[in-house]
Structure formats: structure tokens, C-alpha cells
Amino acid sequence: MRRRTHLLLCVTVVAAVLPGPLAHADDGATVALPGMPERLAADQKCTSHRGHITSQAPWTRQALGLDQVWRLSRGRGVSIAVVGTGVSDSPAVLRGRVKALGDADRDCVGRGTLQAGLAAGAATTGQGFSGVAPQAAVLAVRGTGIRGEPDAGRLAAGVREAAEAGADVITVTAPLDGADKAVRAAMAVAAHEDALVVVPAAVDSVPRGGSAAPPAPAPPAGALAVLDTGPQGGRADDAPGYRHADLSAPGDALVGPGPVGDGKWTGSGSSLAAAVAAGAAALVRSYQPELTAAQVRARLLATAYPGDLPALDPYGAVSGVTPASAAPRAAHPGPVRLPVRPDTAGARATAYLVAAGAGATALLVAFLAVVLPRGRSRRWRPGRLGPDGPRAH
């Protein structure tokens, strides 16, 4: 009996200090989520995998403090346009909330659906996942070829179409070139229509093999350029380069919906970080509808966590609470790598809980391993202190 008790306690200690799995299936089994492609090859069929069902909340929910900010705003009354591969309303988290222009209701790749889910996916029963602005509406706009083929002209045209259709916030699937005339014209339309354009500061991935890709072009004036970071606040050494970024946001190992069914997928890249920031902008526009797009952009920057590159703080942006430390510094003009920042508050809280649990378990182990056997040997009779130490009556 004693051996089984000690074994159970050892297992408890190990379980307390080991990190959790990426995701859990509804029956508690660990599952590996499939990776969402950026584009499809000419011989690839449209994405039809249904992903994997998971009830675990993604790491971004705690890192961004979404449960706290949702007490103030959930994005109601705001429209987020996703200009990319299209958006499917098949997933329950998007069903009935997607309006599409042209053929953008078909997402052959799945990337646009993932972006839309990250920005505005609804909370549903049995799922820990939710987008940043779960009550915002989604406007799907085609910005690539059907298979996700890059198309700078179509991307710029998509921004114009989204603004003219009344989108409050616009996010795109690839960086915009601020020197391109079509892009500047589209940004002028967005400014006239008071739409905030949120763009990725870097491409999502570099081509495999061959030489490194050049940094992404500098974004257009007036856009909010967002760079992806991971759970620790940094980027990998081989992450795609960029020329300018205004803000950083979670963009590594994000979890969201796919184009078919209610299963979840995972993906990484600045376009996904831009979708997260677009959701935060929607929260602000819903809570403070009198603010212009330019004012919302300024608010997101002013309330961000200071650093080499300001880090998105949705609660601060919505509530208007500015960090007590110095104002955010401007991003470096050339390609740089973000240093790894300390863990987020959520990570520290988790560490404290784990430490407390491990300490309590250690005390219990000591009690059962030392005190319990001695008590049994005395048949639980009280002892008395003698010259040679305590002894039983």
C-alpha cells in the first residue's frame, strides 16, 4: 500500500511540473493539430481536412488577457475585412457572420478562414478557442489567386473594395509595398472611408532551400504594420526579415478554425499576428466608436507594452490605460531581430501556481514518508520527550 501511495505521489509531482500538451481531444487524448498551408501547389486539391477538435484554450487567450478585456468589449457592431484567400463560414465559430464580396466565400487554401477566426471567431460551447473580437462581423475579400497565389495588384484592389464596402478594420494576408502606386491609392480610399488597415510586417515564411529572401518592403503610411512573436515574446533567428514594424503581436503556433468543419488548425506568421491586432482594433472601435481609424492606430501604439518594438495590449487599448513606463520607442528602420523578452504575466502566474503545487506535494510526501510510519509504529499513541529523544508511552 505504501509503495502505491508513494508512486501516486511521484506521478502527481511529475504531472505538476511538466508542460501541458498542445491540445486535447474531447475525450482527453493528446492530439497534434495540422498546420495550415499558405498556398497550394498547382497539383494540390483544396484543403478538405477537418482539423482536430480540441477544448483547450490557446496560449494567446491568457497572454492577451482576453477574458479581462471581454468585460468591456467584444467587438459588436464592427466589421473586420480579411483580404486574402477567402473565408469559409463552415466553422461554427464563423457561421452566419461572414459576408463575402464576389467569390471570396470560397477558401480553397484555408489561410483566410484561419485569419478570420483569429480576429473574430465566436466563443462556442465546448471549445476553449475564441477570436479576439468574438462579436465582430467578418467581410471576406479576395486578395490572392484561388490557390493562394500572391497577387500584389489584387491585394491592393482588395483593400480598396473592403474600404468601399464599409469595413471598419482591414487586414491582409501579405505585406503591402508602401512604394506601390496602387497600394497608395488603396490606402487613400481607406483613409477617406475611415478604415484602419492592419498589415503584416513580414512574410509568413521564407522559401525552403536557396538563399534567404529579402526583407519585406516598408509598409504604406497610415497602415499598422504588425510583426509576429511567440509565447516568450521573441522571434526565431531564421524568421523572415522586415524593414519596418509598428507593433508586435502573438503570431507563433496560433490555433484557429479551418475551411471545413469545426476542427482546429495551427499556423504561424506575421499575417496571423496582423489578424490578432485587427481583432484588438475592432474591440477599441466597438468600445469607443467616436474614435477615427487614425486615433485607434495611435491608441494601440500608445497603450502597448514598451520595448524594442511595442507589444500589443488589448485591455490597455480598450480601457485607455497607458503603461506607467516610458512611451514606446520607434521601430528600427532596418531589419532587426527582437530579443527574447521575459515571460508574460500569465506565464509567471502559471509558474507560481506550479511552484506552490509542487511545494505542497513535497510536504505531503514528507508527511506520508516520515510522520505516518512513525505514528503507525506507536499505534498513534502520544509520545513524550526523554533524554534520548521522543518515545511512546
Q: Whose grid coordinates read 463552415?
A: 90
Grid cell 507563433 — which residue? 252
With contact defined as beta carbons under 8 Å apart, do 172 and 274 qualify?
yes
The whole model's pTM is what? 0.77
Predicted local distance difference test score (pLDDT) of residue 249: 98
> Alpha carbon of 306 to those of 98, 280, 324: distances in Å?
35, 17, 10
Model confidence pLDDT, tens digit, residues 58-101: 999 999 999 999 999 999 999 999 999 999 999 999 999 999 99
What is the pLDDT at residue 123? 87
Q: What's the CATH number for 33-342?
A: 3.40.50.200
pLDDT number for residue 135: 98
Per-residue pLDDT, 119: 98
DSSP secondary structure letter of residue 212: P
Sequence spans of domains, the chain? 2-17+348-392, 33-342
Better-scored residue on pLDDT, 14 or 162:
162
Q: Give the pLDDT band of residue 336 (cuts 50, 70, 90).
A: very low
What's the pLDDT at 54?
87
Beta bridge partners of 52: 264
pLDDT-derived band at 233 (thresholds 50, 70, 90) equals confident
Q: What is the pLDDT of residues 181-200, one digit of tens each?
A: 999 999 999 999 999 999 99
| Residue 248, C-alpha cell as written in the block | 508586435
* Residue closest to 70 by CA, chosen among 273, 378, 285, 318: 318
According to the model, what pLDDT value does residue 237 have?
Answer: 85
Interatomic CA distance for residues 161 and 164, integer angstroms: 5
Q: Over 50: is that where the pLDDT of 15 sits?
A: no
Q: Following DSSP, what letter does each residue of 83-108 receive, concatenated?
A: EES-----STTTTT-EEESTTTT--S
Contact 153, 161 (CB under 8 A): no
Determine the average pLDDT of the residues in 174-185: 98
Q: What is the pLDDT of residue 305?
A: 96
pLDDT at 257 over 80: yes
